[in-house]
Structure 1
Amino acid sequence: MSIPAQVLLVFSNVPDLELAKKLARHLLEQRLAACVNILPAVHSMYRWQGALEEGTEVALQIKTTQALYAELEAAIRSMHPYEVPEIIALPLSQGLPAYLDWVRQETNKDRNV
């Protein structure tokens, strides 16, 4: 019996809703994510190159698997305008088993559907 793939929750922010939708669609079409939640109008405050910055961004919550993380990160970086985009992944240690199985199924690149 094989061990189920580790499911991850990946966070990233992008500058606008248009890019958020474009990136989400790309990740879903490539089966790098099972689901992407887009949370518009996040007010971000951060330190960048020695200065305090703030602005509005769009937050993404991306569900994927550990096996796909490197490819997902590369896809985000290739489409992201920031020099150092926020890409943070957390392993999900608990969750509704049926939902976690769904994430695994939807990110299975061998599926024909």
Structure 2
Amino acid sequence: MERPLLVYTTFPDLASALNIGEALVRERLIACINVMPGMQSVYSWKGAVERGAEVAALLKSREGLADALTAALKARHPYDTPIILHLPVAGADADTAAWILAETQPDGSAGAEPQSA
């Protein structure tokens, strides 16, 4: 069975995170996006230390879609250089893994939805 993949990224605002996340779900590149607003970031960018409000997001997908998901995320992302970190999953509940795999199949063979994504 193909392993799940988590992708961490940030967005400038809630609307862009939700809109891009919904597009990726509809394209079956991800099964789910968890959006966490209210994050404050301190980071180095082009030689300066910056501060800003951001929205963190965790995307649930599968390893075989890593490249396609990265390309689609970059194409839609409002940042010039978005943070996109692939977080391999060492283990997962079998039902959770099966749901992620089913929801990211191109033929739409979706499985049962978990109670909490």
Q: TM-score, normalized by length of structure 2? A: 0.89
Q: Which of these residues, 56, 60, 64, is aligned with residue 63 of structure 1?
A: 60
Aligned length: 110
Name the CA distance, whole Å, in 1 between partners of 2:109 and 2:98.
Answer: 17
Evaluate the alpha carbon distance shift between residue 97 and residue 112 of structure 1 in structure 2; reply closer, same or farther with a 3 A threshold. Answer: closer
Deviation, 1:69, is 1.1
Moved segments of 4+, more than 6 Å: none
What do you get for the CA RMSD once the two structures are aligned?
A: 1.1
Q: Which of these residues, 22, 26, 31, is aligned with residue 23 of structure 2?
A: 26
Q: State the identity as a percent.
A: 36
Name the CA distance, whole Å, in 1 between partners of 2:109 and 2:36.
Answer: 30
Kindly provide the CA deviation profile for residues 72-105 of structure 1, in whole angstroms up to 9, marking residues without a partner as x. 1111111112111000011111121110111011
Name the CA distance, whole Å, in 1 between partners of 2:7 and 2:56.
Answer: 11
Deviation, 1:71, is 1.1
Q: Which of these residues, 35, 45, 50, is aligned with residue 48 of structure 1?
A: 45
Amino acid at match of 1:58: V
Name the CA distance, whole Å, in 1 between partners of 2:44 and 2:18.
Answer: 26
Deviation, 1:9, is 0.5
Deviation, 1:112, is 5.5
1:17 aligns with 2:17: no
Match of 1:84 in 2: 81
Match of 2:114 in 1: none
> Is the contact between residue 102 and residue 109 of structure 2 (CA under 8 Å) also seen in structure 1?
no
Q: Return 5+ residue gaps in structure 1 as ranges.
A: none
Name the CA distance, whole Å, in 2 between partners of 1:6 and 1:97.
Answer: 10
